[in-house]
C-alpha cells in the first residue's frame, strides 16, 4: 500500500509541475503540442484543439511539449520565437508550482493538527 501512495503522490507532484509549464505556455500564446503525465507507452490519449493530453504507463515523470523547443521554427507561436521574458516565465512556472503545492500541503497538515504542541 505504501508503494501505491508514493506513486500517487509522485504523480501529483509531476502533474502540478508540468501544469505550471502548460498553463503559462498557453497564457503566453506559445503552442503546446502535448501535455503528458508519465513516460513510456500511452494508456490514454485525447486531442483537444491543438494539444494532445496523454497518460502513460510509467509514472516516472511527464512533459509538456511545446512547438520548436529544441529546433528553429518559423511559427510565430513557437517556444523559440517567444520573447525572452515569456520563455523564462514558462520555464520557471514548473518549479514555482512545486512551491505552491508544498505551501498548500503545509497548510492542510497544520489545519489537520488536533492541538498546538507546547514545551510547557
Please tell me the predicted confidence (pLDDT) of residue 106: 94
Q: Is the pTM of this model over 0.75?
A: yes
Please tell me the predicted confidence (pLDDT) of residue 115: 79
Q: Which member of 18, 34, 50, 69 is catalytic?
A: 18
In this structure, the number of other CB atoms found within 10 A of the CB of residue 77 comes to 17
Adjacent-strand bridge partners of 63: 36
C-alpha cell at 51: 494539444
- Catalytic-residue membership of 69: no
How confident is residue 41, by pLDDT bands cut at 50, 70 and 90?
very high
In this structure, the number of other CB atoms found within 10 A of the CB of residue 74 comes to 8
Q: Are 25 and 66 in contact (CB under 8 A)?
A: yes
CA gap 67, 90 in Å, rounded: 13
Average pLDDT of span 19-27: 95
Amino acid at each position: 500500500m505504501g508503494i501505491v501512495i508514493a506513486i500517487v503522490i509522485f504523480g501529483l507532484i509531476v502533474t502540478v509541475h508540468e501544469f505550471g509549464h502548460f498553463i503559462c505556455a498557453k497564457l503566453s500564446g506559445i503552442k503546446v503540442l502535448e501535455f503528458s503525465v508519465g513516460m513510456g507507452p500511452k494508456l490514454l490519449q485525447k486531442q483537444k484543439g491543438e494539444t494532445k493530453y496523454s497518460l502513460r504507463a510509467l509514472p516516472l515523470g511527464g512533459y509538456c511539449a511545446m512547438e520548436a523547443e529544441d529546433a528553429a521554427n518559423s511559427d510565430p507561436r513557437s517556444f523559440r520565437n517567444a520573447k525572452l521574458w515569456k520563455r523564462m516565465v514558462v520555464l520557471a512556472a514548473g518549479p514555482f508550482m512545486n512551491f505552491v503545492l508544498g505551501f498548500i500541503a503545509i497548510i492542510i497538515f497544520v489545519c489537520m493538527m488536533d492541538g498546538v504542541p507546547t514545551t510547557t
